């Protein structure tokens, strides 16, 4: 249910990796929090002279404090011939900084813990500490923003670690390489055409220390970062510590080119792969919208009505009624740039996958033709509200959401998303379904049992 499916790949102390579904990531940032009538999330925002954006939220119910650092760099910023680098770089951020040899030991010594993840759009680092020891977090995070140690040895080791991660999560799992196959079919020009782990192991192998240094200079500067401080800490103390540890870090000149434009798809795209898996799978990926587009909330509710959970249309009609699939899910990738609406189904053995796919298309046609009931829409709105509230739990969630709302460009999303969902009407849903859920806008991958 309310699981955090990390979009992308993480540094690794996540011991429950199997639970972190590699396919994609519905809820992490789709739903930012808050609830209008009570529990408004209050926050403070200020900016240092070097361009560092700082967000603060005080939670006195916790004995912890979180320091979350989001850098505006993800796999979409990589060279197409050098993919997987943003994520490899994330690993290197734990390999020692200019004044501190061992990041993790210093943190663990005062009861802290850290991790990070990389997505298409961002790289996000966090440290969680007992609130009275939070200054250690400021010391460590600011030093690695100032400069890394840049050691060849650390690079060599982390290349191996990431290659093992590639194998463990993408090659040595049934269906593990679905996204490696699907994304290049969907995107022809845009850098979302490769997953955050990279296109190929050789790209990771070929990384040099010079690449590491220039990537750091280009993207790891205070004016390209958002720092959120959440927990049992006052605004005054936050300001004092931020100024003490971050004021003297120089900003960098940022030059970014616009991402290559993905041409509008005009006809169906289909591809078939066969692998040593027990069951046939079909994945349908429709171009959708940017995370901040006005249609985003409508798209999300459409997705829930069609295929999220046991009361959804596809589940009741095709898993329960016609018994064509054993698993069937709908979700959005929720990317900052134009993302995808995904329908993914695992067929019952013996069922023809192409016929099963036609049944999905019929359900979409039925929705467009007959419309949806008011109750059906209210149901998914209520569900969205619950998700928002449950994601409010815990200082880490709140810290990550604050930073993410800021990177999206509207920090008010912390408190306005329930309203955004409430405003959607049944006609909006149908119009949107008509617009995006058609074959000319769809890439279909058949992943078949050999």
Residues 128-147 that bind other proteins (CB under 8 A): 128-130, 132-133, 135-136, 138-139, 142-143, 146
The answer to whether residue 200 forms part of the interface with other proteins (CB under 8 A) is no
The distance of closest approach from Cβ of residue 317 to other proteins in the complex, given in angstroms and rounded to an integer, is 10
| Per-residue mark of binding to other proteins, 418-437 (x: CB under 8 A) | --------------------
| Residue 136 DSSP symbol | H
The CB density around residue 40, as the number of other CB atoms within 10 Å, is 11
Pick from 64, 86, 343, 414: which binds other proteins (CB under 8 A)? Answer: 64
The distance of closest approach from Cβ of residue 94 to other proteins in the complex, given in angstroms and rounded to an integer, is 9
Tell me which stretch binds other proteins (CB under 8 A): 44-52, 253-261, 308-316, 335-343.
308-316
Pick from 3, 19, 36, 39: which binds other proteins (CB under 8 A)? Answer: 39
Tokens 């220390």 belong to 209
Burial (CB count <10 Å: 0-12, 13-18, 19+), residue 440:
exposed
The distance of closest approach from Cβ of residue 1 to other proteins in the complex, given in angstroms and rounded to an integer, is 5
d(CA 178, CA 251) in angstroms, rounded, equals: 40
CB neighbour burial string for 161-189, b if at least 16 within 10 angstroms, e if fewer: ebbebbeebbeeeebbbbbbbbbbbbbee
The answer to whether residue 320 forms part of the interface with other proteins (CB under 8 A) is yes
Q: From 270, 158, 145, select the one nearest 216 (Cα to Cα).
A: 145
Q: What is the DSSP string of 370-403?
A: H---HHHHHHHHHHHHHHHHHTT-SHHHHHHHHH
d(CA 254, CA 224) in angstroms, rounded, equals: 8
Contact (CB, 8 A) for 28 and 5: yes
The distance of closest approach from Cβ of residue 428 to other proteins in the complex, given in angstroms and rounded to an integer, is 20
The distance of closest approach from Cβ of residue 315 to other proteins in the complex, given in angstroms and rounded to an integer, is 8
Tell me which stretch binds other proteins (CB under 8 A): 68-76, 183-191, 241-249, 406-414.
241-249
- Provide the β-strand partners of residue 372: none
Q: Which H or E element spans position 326? A: strand 325-332
Q: Residue 63 or residue 214: which is nearer to other proteins going by CB? A: 63
The distance of closest approach from Cβ of residue 177 to other proteins in the complex, given in angstroms and rounded to an integer, is 12
Tell me which stretch binds other proteins (CB under 8 A): 243-251, 282-290, 399-407, 432-440.
243-251
- Total of chain residues touching other proteins, rule CB under 8 A: 92
Tell me which stretch binds other proteins (CB under 8 A): 165-173, 179-187, 364-372, 400-408.
165-173
Q: Residue 86 or residue 241: which is nearer to other proteins going by CB? A: 241
The answer to whether residue 96 forms part of the interface with other proteins (CB under 8 A) is no
Residues 248-267 close enough to bind other proteins by CB under 8 A: 248
The distance of closest approach from Cβ of residue 233 to other proteins in the complex, given in angstroms and rounded to an integer, is 14
The CB density around residue 33, as the number of other CB atoms within 10 Å, is 23
Contact (CB, 8 A) for 112 and 136: yes
Phi, psi of 339 (to 5 degrees): -105, -165
The distance of closest approach from Cβ of residue 98 to other proteins in the complex, given in angstroms and rounded to an integer, is 8
Tokens 């890394």 belong to 148
Pick from 56, 291, 346, 401: which binds other proteins (CB under 8 A)? Answer: 346
Pick from 206, 234, 349, 352: which binds other proteins (CB under 8 A)? Answer: 349
Tell me which stretch binds other proteins (CB under 8 A): 8-16, 43-51, 203-211, 265-273.
8-16
Q: Residue 56 or residue 379: which is nearer to other proteins going by CB? A: 379
- Provide the β-strand partners of residue 347: 325
Residues 73-92 close enough to bind other proteins by CB under 8 A: none
Pick from 271, 327, 410, 425: which binds other proteins (CB under 8 A)? Answer: 327
Rounded to 5°, angle at Cα 195 from 157 and 318 = 130
The answer to whether residue 100 forms part of the interface with other proteins (CB under 8 A) is yes
| Per-residue mark of binding to other proteins, 357-396 (x: CB under 8 A) | ------------------x--xxx-xxxxx--xx-xxxx-
Tokens 């979700």 belong to 331
Q: Residue 135 or residue 200: which is nearer to other proteins going by CB? A: 135
The answer to whether residue 2 forms part of the interface with other proteins (CB under 8 A) is yes
Give the three-state DSSP class for 314: helix
Q: Residue 277 or residue 436: which is nearer to other proteins going by CB? A: 277
Burial (CB count <10 Å: 0-12, 13-18, 19+), residue 426:
middle
Question: How far from 214 is each of 84, 266, 343, CA to CA, in Å?
Answer: 15, 39, 39
Q: Residue 294 or residue 323: which is nearer to other proteins going by CB? A: 323
Question: How far from 303 is each of 264, 283, 330, CA to CA, in Å?
Answer: 22, 15, 6
d(CA 227, CA 242) in angstroms, rounded, equals: 9
Q: Residue 323 or residue 434: which is nearer to other proteins going by CB? A: 323
């Amino acid at each position: 249910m309310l699981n955090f499916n990390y979009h992308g790949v993480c540094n690794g102390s996540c011991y429950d990796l199997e639970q972190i579904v590699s396919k994609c990531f519905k809820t992490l940032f789709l739903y930012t929090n808050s609830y209008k009538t009570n529990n408004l999330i209050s926050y403070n925002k200020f900016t240092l002279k070097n361009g560092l954006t700082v967000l603060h939220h005080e939670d006195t119910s916790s004995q912890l404090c979180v320091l979350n650092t989001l850098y505006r760099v993800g796999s979409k910023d990589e060279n197409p011939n050098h993919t997987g680098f943003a994520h490899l770089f994330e690993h290197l951020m734990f390999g020692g900084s200019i004044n501190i040899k061992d990041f993790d030991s210093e943190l663990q010594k005062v009861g802290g813990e850290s991790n990070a993840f990389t997505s298409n759009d961002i790289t996000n680092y966090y440290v969680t500490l007992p609130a009275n020891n939070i200054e250690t977090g400021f010391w460590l995070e600011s030093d690695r923003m100032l400069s890394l140690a840049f050691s060849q040895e650390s690079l060599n080791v982390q290349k191996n670690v990431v290659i093992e991660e590639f194998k463990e999560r993408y090659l040595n799992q049934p269906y593990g390489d679905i996204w490696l196959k699907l994304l290049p079919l969907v995107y022809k020009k845009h850098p979302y055409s490769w997953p955050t782990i990279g296109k190929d192991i050789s790209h990771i192998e070929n990384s040099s220390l010079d690449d590491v240094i220039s990537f750091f200079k280009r993207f790891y500067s205070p004016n390209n970062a958002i720092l959120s401080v959440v927990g049992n800490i006052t605004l005054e103390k936050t300001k004092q510590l931020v100024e003490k540890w971050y004021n003297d870090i120089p900003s960098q000149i940022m030059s970014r080119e616009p991402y290559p434009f993905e041409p509008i798809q005009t006809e169906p795209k289909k591809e078939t792969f066969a692998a040593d898996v027990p069951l046939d799978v079909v994945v349908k990926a429709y171009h959708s919208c940017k995370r901040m587009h006005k249609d985003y909330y409508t798209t999300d509710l459409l997705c829930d009505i069609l295929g999220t959970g046991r009361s959804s249309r596809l589940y009741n009609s095709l898993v329960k009624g016609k018994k064509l699939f054993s698993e069937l899910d709908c979700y959005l990738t929720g990317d900052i740039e134009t993302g995808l609406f995904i329908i993914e189904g695992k067929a019952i053995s013996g069922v023809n996958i192409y016929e099963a796919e036609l049944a999905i298309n019929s359900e979409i046609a039925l929705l467009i033709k007959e419309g949806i009931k008011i109750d059906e829409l209210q149901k998914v709105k209520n569900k969205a509200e619950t998700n928002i509230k449950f994601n409010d739990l815990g200082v880490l969630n709140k810290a990550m959401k604050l930073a993410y709302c800021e990177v999206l460009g509207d920090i008010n999303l912390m408190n306005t998303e329930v309203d955004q969902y409430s405003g959607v009407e049944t006609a909006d849903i149908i119009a949107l379904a008509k617009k995006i859920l058609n074959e000319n806008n769809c890439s279909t991958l058949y992943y078949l049992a050999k």
